[in-house]
Structure 1
């Protein structure tokens, strides 16, 4: 895929071609400030120390309203070939993290632990066709497809359908909608409603959510003349999970602060990384290696500083061969976490992306059961 696609319920940004490529947010910001770039689109990696995939496109179009694909071609059959790590090893990892986080003598308070599934398609997958299936299945999400060539990964594409706004900046007004604290949806309506009530009342999940909100408050207070944060979270639902969510609004002190500046300031949040950030980043690198762009950020910023950035979750990376993909799901681990519950949470989150691959088998040798 040679381009960028971001489709939200309010509008669609679509670009093609590359006038200039940037593997760091600093370089991209410099191009915006100097006037060398009128628009930056792309993705930030999970680990800020790794290359970004940001470009000034040759052509760009921004249309109002949701994307309604003209056609929805069938996808080739896709099968899961391996899990990284296995379900049992993920439970073991989380168990070790819970023990570590329960030690009052160490500074880590939260670590987001993720796992991934490797899948193969019988024929090449078209990124835009996958995105069309995602937007049809998840019309309230922000669906994205990003060429990762600028990060030194020619032909690779990041695809996903995220429910989480990292930051939106238009004029001096900023808005974000952090998510932290999750339980899977249930098929029975009464049980599902009870699950939602349990999440809202859960001390463990509310504590996990509070880590994120306190961190955002600390970072945004210096750059916002006004900042409005509700006293407690609300419920947000997707077809797969319930989330705790807090809508936050602010007014910038300095109108020169751009949407890309704010994305860099806030990323990675404790919702995808942990607390404290630097220690959690190191812990994740030791446990998982390089996450690539899962847990990163996807968005755009124009010369006026306006833009929208979303957390790159509920996603997969499609390899240049267009047949191999790796889908990701994670969950925030705190001292009160239950390892088996955390495993179920990652499975529910993985369904967001994998469930859109309509020919995925109901079961696999690894026990994966995508929701229909």
Structure 2
């Protein structure tokens, strides 16, 4: 984006401003996981399709915050155990909840946030790289490489590819064999039911805006760094092409991909269980003066705090009644490893 940027912490206000066309033709930034607990970081300016790519540069050595990480693991395991108890209780309303855990690393000296962002883009070219400075805390940045398209709007056409159901990749196997192994695991009642929760939620949320939705009856395998996912491509046409993006986001976010089923109960539990998520599990992307947009899930990323000289990584997974603690922990470890790689940590 070019020129002076105007900042907004509210999507509806940002969308109204860009549609008015007085200050710019593009809004870009991040929407938090829970908009009731945190504001957005949205920037209005002029579209610049030319992308500069500074060299990745050298990074200092990153040191594990052992005390924080040990406590985070212990808390995560306790929360998984508590969630499974509730999920398996007779008559429970809870069907799925997404629980995450954090890792923190210190560094000395200075980290160039833009150079760190370039590492994400270089290591994961097939993902959607994102970079946002927090409006409420300048000098704090969220960045990453998202595997999941949450919502794209082009005129009256809506597209999305929700992901739910994850298995680790086995790098010892040829890709074709690993894909078949992943298919045999993921096309199981447990994972298919977890994925169906997500698809049903998205379809129901879109139904009020779209008379016709097109999506396959069965999900497909989606390859992502370190893991395989189940994904379902969804296409729909809006009754009114001028439907505000704000209304679509309000109807669909946070989805069961990052929250749970039912949504309200899962949100309350996550707020009680976890440190504030801020932009983890939120949305990153853009919307323009024509009403088009593209938002991805703010996943597979990190938060850089240049004031405290630390970075926080976060990853989570969906927990259902048939989940196993060791499998859930391994899934979060694989997702965290994609971000450790950016830091040069084996």
TM superposition score normalised by structure 2? 0.92
Q: Specify the alignment match of 1:250 in structure 2.
A: 236
Cα drift, residue 298 of structure 1: 0.4
Q: Specify the alignment match of 1:92 in structure 2.
A: 78
Task: Kindly provide the CA deviation profile for residues 135-190 of structure 1, in whole angstroms up to 9, marking residues without a partner as x.
Answer: 111010000110112xx112211111101001011111111011101111112116
Q: What does 1:163-182 correspond to in 2, within 5 Å?
A: 163-182=147-166
Cα drift, residue 322 of structure 1: 7.2
Query: Does residue 62 in structure 1 map to residue 62 in structure 2?
Result: no
Q: Specify the alignment match of 2:138 in structure 1.
A: 154
Provide structure 2 residue ranges, at least 5 long, that are not aligned to the other structure.
none
Most deviating of 33-42 and 165-174: 33-42
On the 8 A contact 2:88/2:321 being kept in 1, the answer is yes
After superposition, the Cα gap between the structure-2 partners of 1:300 and 1:260, relative to the gap in structure 1 and judged at 3 Å, is farther
Q: Which residue, 192, 195, 216 being the options, matches 2:178?
A: 192
Q: What does 1:1-372 correspond to in 2, within 5 Å?
A: 14=1, 17-19=4-6, 21-36=7-22, 38-49=25-36, 50-57=38-45, 59-63=46-50, 69=53, 71-81=55-65, 82-83=68-69, 85-149=71-135, 152-189=136-173, 192-193=178-179, 195-321=181-307, 323-358=309-344, 360=345, 362=346
On the 8 A contact 2:30/2:282 being kept in 1, the answer is yes
Aligned length: 340
Cα drift, residue 33 of structure 1: 4.4
RMSD after superposition: 2.0
Most deviating of 33-42 and 116-125: 33-42
Cα drift, residue 31 of structure 1: 2.4
Cα drift, residue 35 of structure 1: 4.2
On the 8 A contact 1:241/1:348 being kept in 2, the answer is yes
Indicate the SS of the match to 2:110.
coil
Distance 1:204 1:16 in 2: 50
Distance 1:135 1:84 in 2: 30
Indicate the SS of the match to 1:168.
strand
